[in-house]
Amino acid sequence: MKKVSALRLYLFMTVAALVLVFLCCAPVYADDPGACGESLTWYWEDDDHSILRISGTGAMYDYKWEPPEWGGDFSTVVIGEGVTSIGRFAFRNCTFLVNVTLPSTLTFISESAFEGCTALTAMTLPDSLTDIGPYAFKGCTGLSDITLSADTASIGESAFKGCTALTAIDLPDTVSTIEKYAFADCSALASVKLPSGLTAISDGLFEKCASLLNVIIPGSVSEIREIAFEGCNSLLSMTIPEGVTVIPYGAFKNCTALSSVAIPASVKEIGECSFLGCSGLTDVTYAGTQEQWSEIRIENDNDCLTMAIIHYGPSEPSGILILPADLTAIESQAFAGLTDVDAISIPATVKSIADDAFEGSDIVIIAPAGSYAATWAQEHGFIVNP
């Protein structure tokens, strides 16, 4: 009996100790207003602590890994006019955050400011914003719509990594720098038109963007870095611009749907595993001569490239691009500016095509008679072949 009593006492003391530790260690969030910048104040706009307002002028403080005083259980944040930056970790892992109002004075969103805000679905960034910091929206898995400022200059490392609901993004031509992994793991992203002044495609920029069908790379790009498109297993074709000298390690690794690639004569080296796993690659158009092709240093594990049919001479539009038989929708700008094929074959399974899906593309659309794609093509002024 004494042993049972002792055991009960031991269990009671253990549970009590754990509760005490939890109470001591759990974050305690403030009810009263406080400073969040040299000239900034935060306060609750309602008794339920669901609306957080930040007012004043200047930059917000940067925070450490611990959450700020306001915690993370609110649904709305209103950042007032006069605020110029959102501090590091300011709203990180605020999983209930749905609504964000940003001021016209904002110029910078700092590191991990909205990282892990999984309930956030849409965001319009003000025209004043020029720089998006690293990890700013990383892991915002509900974010499906974001409008960038027309004056955006830079997008930081992993800024939108893991935004799995994002289907398209319009990158203004003012963007000159996009850091590595900025759009990695954006598994629903279907199309991207890169800014006209971009000079480099960073490491892993579109790694594992499994829905990516088309990427328009501007002629200003002279460098493609490692694993830039690895795992983009819906990517159908690629035109590498003149000026690129190296296709590096793993650049197009496991792009299993990639059927055609246009390579400029400027390329002198193709790195290890650049085209490893590109099992659908059948046609390579090389802008130089056969002799020049033989002088390119091609590293190991590029059999998918070397076993494809090589066409020599300047790239000209040719052939038919056949879309996957189970495709159901073609998103905005998916094939905008398409120049390296004469025609595109769309299956009867497609039931939705964005109005600007083929903007700037002079192509023939091949679609089954009476299908949604055939009707859409006729209504939008395209030549249609059944």
Same-domain check for residues 265 and 357? no
Please report the pLDDT score of residue 72 as a whole number. 85
Tens of pLDDT, residue by residue over 320-359, are 788 887 888 998 888 887 776 778 889 889 999 999 888 8
Residues linked to residue 56 through DSSP beta bridges, in sequence order: 40
Query: How high is the pLDDT of residue 336?
Result: 82
- What is the CATH number for 286? 3.80.10
On whether residue 339 sits in a domain, the answer given is yes
Are 265 and 327 members of one domain? no
Same domain, 228 and 252: yes
- Do 240 and 341 share a structural domain? no
Question: Does the residue 146 lie in any domain?
Answer: no
H or E element at residue 51: strand 51-56
Q: Domain end: 316, 346, 372, which one?
A: 316
pLDDT at 325: 77
**Position 177 in a domain:** no
Same domain assignment for residues 293 and 211: yes
pLDDT of 243: 94
* Residue (of 270, 267, 276, 278) closest to 299 by Cα position: 270
* pLDDT recorded at residue 20: 42
Which residue ranges of the chain lie beneath pLDDT 50?
A: 1-4, 15-29
Pair 301, 324 in one domain: no
Range of the domain at 214: 190-316
pLDDT at 244: 97
Strand order in the sheet with 76-79: 34-37, 40-44, 51-56, 76-79, 99-101
Indicate whether 21 belongs to any domain: no
Last residue of a domain, one of 255, 289, 316: 316
pTM above 0.85, yes or no: no
Residue 284 lies in a domain: yes
CA-to-CA separations, 318 to 38, 129, 215, 312, 368, in angstroms, rounded: 61, 42, 18, 13, 21
Q: In which residue are the tokens 């994002």 written? A: 166
Residue 282 placed within a domain: yes
For residues 213, 219, 223, 225, the Cα torsion angle rounded to the nearest 10 degrees is -10
76 within some domain: no
Q: Which residues contact 105 (CB under 8 A, 6 or more apart)?
A: 81, 82, 83, 84, 126, 128
Helix intervals (H) in the chain? 2-25, 290-295, 303-306, 372-379
- 357 and 310 within one domain: no
Nearest to 197 by CA among 232, 161, 153: 153
Taking the C-alpha atoms of residue 137 and residue 100, their distance in angstroms, rounded to an integer, is 13
Whether residue 217 sits in one domain with residue 264: yes
Query: Are residue 338 and residue 378 in the same domain, yes or no?
Result: yes
Q: Where are the alpha helices (DSSP H) in 235-297?
A: 290-295
Clarify whether residues 207 and 300 are in a common domain: yes
**Which tokens is 366 given?**
């091949």
pLDDT of residue 26: 39
In a domain, 81, yes or no: no
Residues 292 and 331 in one domain: no
Domain count, the chain: 2
Say what the pLDDT of residue 313 is: 84
Report strand pairing: 51-56 vs 40-44: antiparallel
Q: Is 343 left (phi over 0), alpha (psi -120 to 50) or beta?
A: beta
pLDDT value at residue 24: 41
For residues 280 and 240, state if they share a domain: yes
Domain C-terminal end among 316, 333, 366: 316
Query: Mind listing the pLDDT tens digit for each residue in 266-313?
Result: 999 999 999 999 999 999 999 999 999 999 999 999 999 999 999 988
